[in-house]
Amino acid sequence: MVFKNLSYKTQRKIIIFAFSLIPVVLLFTFAYLPVFNMFKYSFTDWNGYSKHYDFVGFENYKTIFTDSKYFSVFKVSLYYFAATFIQMGLALYFATILSFNVRFKNFFKGVLFFPYLLNGVAIGFIFLFFFRPDGTLDTIMQALGLGAYTQGWLLNPNIINISLAGASLWRYMGFNFIIFLGAISSIGRDVYEAAEIDGANRWHQFRHIILPSIKNIVQLNLILAISGAISAFDIPYIMTGGSNGSNTFVIQTVTTAFKYNKLGLASAMAVVLLFIVIIVTLLQRLLIKEEK
Contact 64, 269 (CB under 8 A): yes
C-beta of 88 vs 254, nearer to other proteins: 254
Taking the least distance from each CB to other proteins, the nearer of 14 and 78 is: 14
Shortest CB 192 distance to other proteins, Å: 16
Helix ranges restricted to H, the chain: 2-5, 8-27, 33-41, 59-66, 68-71, 74-97, 105-113, 120-131, 136-143, 160-185, 189-197, 202-205, 211-213, 215-230, 234-239, 249-258, 263-291
Question: Shortest distance, CB of residue 119 to other proteins, whole angstroms?
Answer: 4
Task: Evaluate whether 207 touches 118 at the Cβ level (below 8 Å).
Answer: no
Nearer to other proteins, 259 or 292 (CB): 259
| Least separation in angstroms between CB 191 and other proteins | 14
88 or 183, CB closer to other proteins?
183
Taking phi first (over 0 means left), then psi (-120 to 50 degrees means alpha), and beta for anything else, what does residue 161 get? alpha
For residues 47 and 82, which CB has a smaller minimum distance to other proteins in the complex?
Answer: 47
DSSP SS3 for 235: helix
CB of 59 to other proteins, least distance (A): 12
Please give the Cα distance from 239 to 235 (Å, whole number): 6
Angle at 81 between CA 76 and CA 84, to 5 degrees: 140
Distance CA 206, CA 89 (A): 13
User: Cβ closer to other proteins: 82 or 132?
Assistant: 132
Least separation in angstroms between residue 194's CB and other proteins is 20
55 has which bridge partners? 44
Least distance between other proteins and beta carbon 155 (Å): 5
For other proteins, the closer of residues 155 and 194 by Cβ is 155
Q: How far is the CB of 89 from other proteins (least distance, A)?
A: 12
Q: Please state whether 6 falls in left (phi above 0), alpha (psi between -120 and 50) or beta.
A: beta
